[in-house]
């Protein structure tokens, strides 16, 4: 624990207390629910009942449903919610604890090839902050210690210098995964005494390889949190061996928040955030509960977003659910999670490019319903776009060329639908050219 981290943490929680503990109350509620399944299920059931009653009353999309039985509500996905966005959304004046008329909009990066904008009310935003602090603590990281946040930072998504200072965050841009970027990151962790790293799972493949070739002691680093894709087991083992810190995968998405996380005391199970979400595992080919030990679809109800009720939301992921144990305090947990894997592509200089860099660019360009990016040659790329209307793609091409290099030859193909794989998922990033 650092003095700087302690002071920032003390200032934060004191300020939160003086303003009525909008985050602290959620933090304590999450702890209460997750540490006691019996009491937790009672509180979860109350939250679910309140959400369903609210949605029926204030969301035009859900007004036709009379029952409080969640199985009577429809299963929805991104495309359904996008098509019915205005009907699902709730007016600001009807949302409890909403402080402003302005509703925050959480934009997903479109890792499935379908960008998605989800309104989030004040209470939901505070819940997400509490989740970050609580699950960080479970992983051995206290909030406001030095955190290296490795992501694709763009002009649409950034933190001010003041934010970085107050939150004790180092914003590390990893749009490209070349050796210079990895070297700079490792040196930053060492020199800045970073306590935790948070980033995309496939990025840590590069770090493990670099540290294997250039052993570098990183004594300050206590935990690595990964997300977006499943981490390779070899990468996890190498990082633990080379650094000596815990490596924990998070199950999360941008439209909801932290859904679950591996435990530092466990193996590879994902302990779920039952405090904020209601989980269902349904059969792959029908809307019925999967049998114990059976692979099924993950369907999630967000208990705290009243601005845009996400009820029975099919995430597109699959998993196997297991009965509770001591580590989960009796709650069911995911014993096997099947996340999305993205193809790796290369820029015109032969450097690997973070697939999420494409998503970060494309989610902010107006009119895109779905996209698919394909590398067809050493300098040749194709982007397939399903767009709402005939909008110029010049900005899109310019942003991609800045990422890939000026020699990039980018062709644009307008389509009405992105092809679906046999698994039922769309593959947003494809490499048809394999680097020799």
Which tens digits make up the pLDDT trace of 323-365? 988 888 999 999 888 755 556 788 898 887 877 678 778 876 7
- How far is it, in rounded angstroms, from Cα 276 to Cα 252? 12
pLDDT of residue 181: 83
Mean pLDDT of the chain: 87
pLDDT of residue 422: 42
- Cβ-based neighbours of 395, under 8 Å, separated by 6 or more: 365
| pLDDT tens column, 3-20 | 989 999 999 999 999 999
Beta strand extents in 188-290 (DSSP E only) = 196-200, 223-227, 246-253, 257-262, 270-272, 277-282
Say which residue, 21 or 420, is predicted with more confidence: 21
Q: Using alpha carbons, select from 63, 224, 54 the residue that is nearest to residue 148.
A: 224
- How far is it, in rounded angstroms, from Cα 312 to Cα 289? 13
- Cβ-based neighbours of 191, under 8 Å, separated by 6 or more: none
- Cβ-based neighbours of 368, under 8 Å, separated by 6 or more: 110, 115, 362, 385, 386, 387, 388
- The two tokens of residue 227 are 């997300």
Q: Flag whether pLDDT at 158 surpasses 80.
A: no
Q: Flag whether pLDDT at 101 surpasses 80.
A: no
| pLDDT tens column, 69-96 | 999 999 999 889 999 999 999 999 999 8
Q: Flag whether pLDDT at 1 surpasses 60.
A: yes
Pairing mode, if any, of strands 147-151 and 104-107?
unpaired
CB 70 within 8 A of CB 48: yes
- How far is it, in rounded angstroms, from Cα 189 to Cα 185? 6
- How far is it, in rounded angstroms, from Cα 134 to Cα 112? 28
What is the set of domains in the chain, with CATH numbers? Answer: 3-338 (3.40.50.12780), 345-431 (3.30.300.30)
- The two tokens of residue 250 are 């998070």
pLDDT of residue 113: 61
pLDDT grade for 424, boundaries at 50, 70 and 90: very low
Helix (H, G, I), strand (E, B) or coil at 413: strand
pLDDT grade for 421, boundaries at 50, 70 and 90: low
Q: Flag whether pLDDT at 260 surpasses 80.
A: yes
Stated length of the chain: 436
Q: Flag whether pLDDT at 308 surpasses 80.
A: yes
Give me the phi and psi of 425, to 5 degrees please: -105, 155
Helix crossing, 233-243 with 203-213: angle to 10°? 40
CB 199 within 8 A of CB 169: no
Give me the phi and psi of 380, to 5 degrees please: -110, 135
pLDDT of residue 340: 56
Q: Using alpha carbons, select from 223, 274, 214 the residue that is nearest to residue 249.
A: 223
Q: Which of 123-127, 242-246, 346-350 has the lowest mean pLDDT?
A: 346-350
Q: Is 337 left (phi over 0), alpha (psi -120 to 50) or beta?
A: beta
- Cβ-based neighbours of 141, under 8 Å, separated by 6 or more: 147, 195, 196, 222, 223, 225
Specify the pTM.
0.80
């Amino acid at each position: 624990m650092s003095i700087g981290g302690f002071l920032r943490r003390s200032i934060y929680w004191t300020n939160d207390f003086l303003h009525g503990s909008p985050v602290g109350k959620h933090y304590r509620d999450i702890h209460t629910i997750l540490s006691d399944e019996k009491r937790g299920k009672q509180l979860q059931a109350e939250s679910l009942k309140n959400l369903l009653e609210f949605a029926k009353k204030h969301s035009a999309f859900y007004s036709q449903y009379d029952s409080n039985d969640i199985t009577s509500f429809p299963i929805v996905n991104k495309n359904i919610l996008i098509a019915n966005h205005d009907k699902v959304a709730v007016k600001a004046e009807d949302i409890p604890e909403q402080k402003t008329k302005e509703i925050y909009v959480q934009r997903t990066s479109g890792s499935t090839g379908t960008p998605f904008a989800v309104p989030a009310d004040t209470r939901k935003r505070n819940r997400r902050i509490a989740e970050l602090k609580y699950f960080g603590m479970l992983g051995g990281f206290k909030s406001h210690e030095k955190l290296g946040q490795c992501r694709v930072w763009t002009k649409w998504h950034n933190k001010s210098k003041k934010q970085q200072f107050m939150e004790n965050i180092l914003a590390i841009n990893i749009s490209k995964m070349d050796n210079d970027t990895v070297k700079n990151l490792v040196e930053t962790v060492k020199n800045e005494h970073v306590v935790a790293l948070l980033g995309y799972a496939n990025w840590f493949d590069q770090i493990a390889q670099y540290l294997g070739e250039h052993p570098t002691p990183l004594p300050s680093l206590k935990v690595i949190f990964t997300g977006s894709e499943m981490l390779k087991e070899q990468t996890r083992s190498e990082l633990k061996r080379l650094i000596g810190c815990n490596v924990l995968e998070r199950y999360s998405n941008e439209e909801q928040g932290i859904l679950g996380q591996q435990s530092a005391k466990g193996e590879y199970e994902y302990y779920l955030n039952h405090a904020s979400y209601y989980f269902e595992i349904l059969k792959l080919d029908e809307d019925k509960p999967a049998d114990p030990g059976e692979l099924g679809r993950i369907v999630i109800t967000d208990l705290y977003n009243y601005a845009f009720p996400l009820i029975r939301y099919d995430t597109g992921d699959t998993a196997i659910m297991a009965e509770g144990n001591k580590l989960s305090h009796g709650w069911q947990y995911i014993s096997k999670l099947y996340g999305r894997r993205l193809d790796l592509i290369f820029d015109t200089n032969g450097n690997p490019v973070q697939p999420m860099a494409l998503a970060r660019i494309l989610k902010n360009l107006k009119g895109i319903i779905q996209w698919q990016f394909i590398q067809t040659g050493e300098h040749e790329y194709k982007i397939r776009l399903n767009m709402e209307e005939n909008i110029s793609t010049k900005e899109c091409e310019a942003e991609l060329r800045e990422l890939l290099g000026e020699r990039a030859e980018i062709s644009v193909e307008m389509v009405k639908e992105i092809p679906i794989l046999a698994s039922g998922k769309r593959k947003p990033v494809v490499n048809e050219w394999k680097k020799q």
